[in-house]
Structure 1
Amino acid sequence: MPRPVPAAPAAERVEAAGVSLRGVGRSFSTAGGTHDVLAGVDVDVAPGSTVALLGASGSGKSTLLRLVAGLDDPTAGTVEVGGEAVRGVGTRTAVVFQEPRLLPWRDLAGNVALGLPLGTSRAEGRAQVLHWLETVGLAGFAGHRPRRVSGGMAQRAALARALVRRPGVLLLDEPFAALDALTRLKMQDLLDDVQRGTGATVLFVTHDVDEALHLADRVLVLGTSEDRTGAHVVRDLAVGPPRPRDRGDAELAHLRVELLELLGVPRTHA
């Protein structure tokens, strides 16, 4: 059965922002000439929604995420967050990477505190850090160094570090790929609970079709076609069942087959 929707205090809600990409391209110069990674990408992500990016390796998923985060600049087109053009890293977004990237000489609380907005008072900052550590299930580990916790706990701390920023858009680049299967499922449920509790917009990259179907309101598949040299959105798939979802939902099984076929994995026939 699906998990119940958690009751989140109003103070935990964030001001979700929409994301818009228009004609976005990203090219890189190589020894053999120009390599177009993305070309003509048009995407709209509604405020408060969760969108997954799927595609083969090298299809530009992480590149697209970096453009939204302001960690890279497009060579064509425009990227906007909350109706404003993205120009460098801003306060509206926060990123969680595949690796936790925690500073080994800081405890978990100290690592989470790195995400606090500038100007946060010491007392408010400590309260926010403890709040998000508790939210991700690490209330009893605030004083632990990264080497003393598991990979899943370290990734929870990385998620708390992003959330303490109170971003309107949360960006995740395969955040659970390095975790064992059971921990990965638990982290998926945690992310789903946090998103529904805060109302933040979430855009995440994954290679896992089941993960995309469990978490996303829409799945965008990146790929190429004969009329463009770079990747673009070849399928925009709405995921019907409301969240939180039952992983055994029959509708998800149907969508899974469709997505796998788009990714080059045909269904088997007896």
Structure 2
Amino acid sequence: MRGEEPGAERVEAAGVALRGVGRAFRTPAGTHDVLAGVDADIAAGSTVALLGASGSGKSTLLRLVAGLDAPTAGTVEVGGEVVRGVNARTGVVFQEPRLLPWRDLAGNVALGLPRGTPRAQGRAQVLHRLETVGLAGFAGHRPRRVSGGMAQRAALARALVRRPGVLLMDEPFAALDALTRLRMQDLLDDVQRSTGATVLLVTHDVDEALHLADRVLVLGTTEDRAGAHVVRDLRVDVPRPRDRGDADLAHLRVELLELLGVPRSHA
């Protein structure tokens, strides 16, 4: 469906503000600071990618924005309000689709509907979101009858049916084959531009970040802090939709890989 507008009405996008955010965990060896002093402003309607080495706190930060966890220092705001508990303005897509095997795809997507949605209205919204992600003809299929890419499309539809102002994605395409991953990236780009939602994407893939994001926040550690924080805020000033062979993206790719510890000779 690349190049088509998925026919989804625009949502009320929300900005995200991170103010001195820290998250520490108690371990038998003592306190472990995963995040320390994370500061960032994410504009409503933008797409921001979180990059960093394994264990740099990317998924932890995403959980804090979703309200699935609470910071031990600082504050997280969505739409100007401090996050306290699960936030109704956010929708989450995880690395695994997490579909219930005894429900068909429509039934799984319906789990994302806001509580109290009238049945007829909810059914229409579910079918609309399945159409948005290219699954209009698979509403009655059980998860075992569809591919991994289709299952992840259903997971995206389940998040979208909430009409989230902020769409949080935790390595949503990591388990997919290379070709399906590229198609899912294009789908996400289409959906974001159509709905206008704010997207915060956790990824290990530099090319994915550069293809989708308006900004790339690199998380890492420095000698002055025990936990990870934003060590680079890179703006990607390339119009979307983007050509993966764009020369400007190639230059940014080298810069990001060097930040992540990949020497220029191997980039």
Equivalent residue number for residue 47 of structure 2: 50
Deviation of 1:114 after TM superposition, in Å, equals: 0.3
2:137 equivalent to 1:140? yes
Query: What is the distance in 1 between the residues matched to 2:107 and 2:245?
Result: 39
2:221 equivalent to 1:224? yes
Equivalent residue number for residue 245 of structure 2: 248
Determine helix, strand or coil for the equivalent of 1:103.
coil
Equivalent residue number for residue 200 of structure 2: 203
For structure 2, list consecutive stretches of 5 or more residues without a partner in the other structure: none
Deviation of 1:4 after TM superposition, in Å, equals: 7.8
Equivalent residue number for residue 93 of structure 2: 96
Equivalent position amino acid for 1:69 in 2: A
2:116 equivalent to 1:131? no
Query: What is the distance in 2 between the residues matched to 1:4 and 1:156?
Result: 14
- Within-5 A mapping of 1:32-51: 32-51=29-48
After TM superposition, what 4+ stretches of structure 1 lie above 2 angstroms from structure 2?
A: 3-9
Deviations 1:58-104 (A, max 9, x none): 00000000000000000000000000010111210010000000000
Q: How many aligned residue pairs are there?
A: 266
Query: What is the distance in 1 between the residues matched to 2:152 and 2:253?
Result: 27
Equivalent residue number for residue 262 of structure 2: 265
Are the aligned partners of 1:6 and 1:197 in contact in 2 as well (CA < 8 Å)? no
Are the aligned partners of 2:2 and 2:186 in contact in 1 as well (CA < 8 Å)? no
- TM-score under structure 2 length normalisation: 0.97
Equivalent position amino acid for 1:221 in 2: V
Deviations 1:181-219 (A, max 9, x none): 000000000000000000000001000000000000000
For structure 1, list consecutive stretches of 5 or more residues without a partner in the other structure: none
Equivalent residue number for residue 73 of structure 2: 76
Query: What is the distance in 2 between the residues matched to 1:77 and 1:135?
Result: 37
2:170 equivalent to 1:173? yes
- TM-score under structure 1 length normalisation: 0.96
Deviation of 1:5 after TM superposition, in Å, equals: 6.0
Are the aligned partners of 2:220 and 2:231 in contact in 1 as well (CA < 8 Å)? yes
2:137 equivalent to 1:111? no
Are the aligned partners of 1:5 and 1:196 in contact in 2 as well (CA < 8 Å)? no
Equivalent residue number for residue 150 of structure 1: 147
Query: What is the distance in 2 between the residues matched to 1:87 and 1:93?
Result: 13
Determine helix, strand or coil for the equivalent of 1:12.
coil
Deviations 1:101-147 (A, max 9, x none): 00000000000000001121111101000001011010110000000
Query: What is the distance in 2 between the residues matched to 1:123 and 1:13?
Result: 21
Equivalent position amino acid for 1:202 in 2: V
Query: What is the distance in 2 between the residues matched to 1:179 and 1:7?
Result: 24
Query: What is the distance in 2 between the residues matched to 1:45 and 1:165?
Result: 20
Query: What is the distance in 2 between the residues matched to 1:51 and 1:109?
Result: 29
Equivalent residue number for residue 14 of structure 1: 11
Equivalent residue number for residue 211 of structure 2: 214
Determine helix, strand or coil for the equivalent of 1:268.
helix
Equivalent position amino acid for 2:40 in 1: V
Query: What is the distance in 2 between the residues matched to 1:204 and 1:254?
Result: 21
Please, what is the CA RMSD of the aligned residues? 1.3
Query: What is the distance in 2 between the residues matched to 1:96 and 1:258?
Result: 28
Deviation of 1:240 after TM superposition, in Å, equals: 1.1
**Relative to structure 1, is the Cα distance of residues 201 and 56 closer, same or farther in structure 2, using a 3 angstrom cutoff?**
same
